[in-house]
């Protein structure tokens, strides 16, 4: 890595999406003029690419999940004294189902955020817990876009953002806010990003971070007569970066 020593911190913060817009812009100007820093940035990207290998990530073993379920059940808010384990699980559901029910319950009792945000998060959670993350599974945007033909009465734009670290996973038909919507599924490392799209009349709106909803970030924007809602458990900054990129690519 051969970047300017005095720019090293900025370079890394830029790479990690930690700079505000003004500083990012200033650094991009430097980057354009400095082959050393550009090369250093490429090195960081290459490293991240190698680390994105799913083989480096391992889900928790099912046995651990069951052990934790059992531990929590033993801790249940019943009158039973702590430490006494009855050996029966009050939540006798399968782990996935239990988590789903709980996630939905958590969403349902939320106080003030809009009903739509609640639905969006519930949909997102459902898609990641169930078996139906995508209806059409492909990283090829030219396959995803026509797949929606005849299934929804609008044409959602689909862009390829793999080189930016957001590979396309596919598309799904969903039902939200009383209508059919298109859900595009992207991935950021191991995190799923659901991008819900449906028509909207009104002025265009730039991507803006909504209130994060029980740990899930939401970014909303409107463009070309469509409204976009990105929902994910990735870092808020990254979801914003995703939204900005997507909006940029579909804007012109």
Partner 1 sequence: MARILPFSTVRARPPEAPAGRAAPPPAAGRRDGPDAPLAKADAERFRGLVLPHLDAAYGFARYLTRDATLAEDIVQDAFLKAYRAFAGFRGGDPRAWLFAIVRSSFLSSLRNRPAWTSDEAAPDAASDEASPEAALIRQGEAQSVRGAIAALPEPFREALVLREFEDLSYRQIAEVSGAPLGTVMSRLARARQMLAVALREESRR
Write out the residues near partner 1 by the rule CB under 8 A.
1, 8-9, 12-13, 16, 18, 43-44, 47-48, 50-51, 53-61, 63-65, 67-68, 70-72, 74-77, 82-83, 85, 91, 98-99, 102-107, 109, 125, 129, 188-191, 214-215, 233-238
Q: State CA 168 to chain mean position distance.
A: 12
Q: How far is the CB of 136 from partner 1 (least distance, A)?
A: 19
Question: Tokens 């994910």 belong to which residue?
Answer: 232
Q: Please give the Cα distance from 190 to 57 (Å, whole number).
A: 8
Q: Is 191 exposed, middle or buried (0-12, 13-18, 19+ CB in 10 A)?
A: middle
Q: How far is the CB of 199 from partner 1 (least distance, A)?
A: 31
Q: Give the residue with the Cβ less far from partner 1, 81 or 202.
A: 81
Q: Give the residue with the Cβ less far from partner 1, 40 or 226.
A: 40
Q: Give the residue with the Cβ less far from partner 1, 33 or 109.
A: 109
Q: Give the residue with the Cβ less far from partner 1, 13 or 155.
A: 13
Q: Give the residue with the Cβ less far from partner 1, 64 or 251.
A: 64
What b/e sequence results for 134-148 when a residue is b if at least 16 CB atoms lie within 10 Å of its CB, and e otherwise? bbbeeeebeebbebb
- List, edge to edge, every strand of the sheet that includes 179-188: 136-137, 168-176, 179-188, 191-199, 226-232, 217-223, 205-209
Q: How far is the CB of 25 from partner 1 (least distance, A)?
A: 20
Q: How far is the CB of 58 from partner 1 (least distance, A)?
A: 6
Q: How far is the CB of 148 from partner 1 (least distance, A)?
A: 27
Residue 216 contacts residue 231 (beta carbons within 8 Å):
yes
């Amino acid at each position: 890595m051969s970047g300017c020593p005095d720019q090293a911190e900025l370079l890394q913060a830029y790479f990690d999406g930690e700079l505000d817009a003004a500083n990012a812009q200033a650094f991009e100007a430097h980057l354009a003029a400095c082959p050393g820093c550009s090369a250093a940035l490429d090195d960081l990207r290459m490293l991240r690419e190698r680390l994105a290998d799913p083989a480096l990530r391992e889900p928790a073993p099912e046995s651990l999940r069951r052990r934790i379920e059992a531990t929590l059940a033993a801790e249940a808010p019943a009158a039973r004294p702590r430490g006494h384990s009855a050996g029966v699980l009050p939540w006798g559901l399968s782990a996935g189902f239990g988590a789903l029910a709980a996630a939905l319950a958590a969403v349902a009792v939320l106080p003030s955020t809009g009903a739509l945000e609640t639905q969006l998060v519930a949909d997102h959670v459902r898609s990641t817990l169930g078996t139906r993350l995508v209806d059409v599974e492909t990283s090829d945007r030219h396959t995803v876009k026509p797949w929606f033909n005849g299934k929804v009465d609008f044409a959602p734009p689909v862009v390829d953002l793999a080189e930016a670290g957001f590979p396309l996973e596919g598309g799904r038909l969903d039902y939200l806010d009383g209508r059919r919507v298109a859900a595009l599924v992207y991935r950021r490392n191991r995190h799923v990003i659901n991008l819900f799209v449906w028509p909207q009349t009104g002025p265009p709106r730039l991507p803006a971070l909504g209130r994060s909803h029980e740990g899930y970030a939401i970014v909303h924007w409107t463009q070309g007569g469509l409204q976009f809602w990105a929902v994910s458990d990735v870092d808020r900054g990254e979801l914003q970066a995703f939204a900005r990129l997507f909006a940029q690519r579909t804007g012109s």
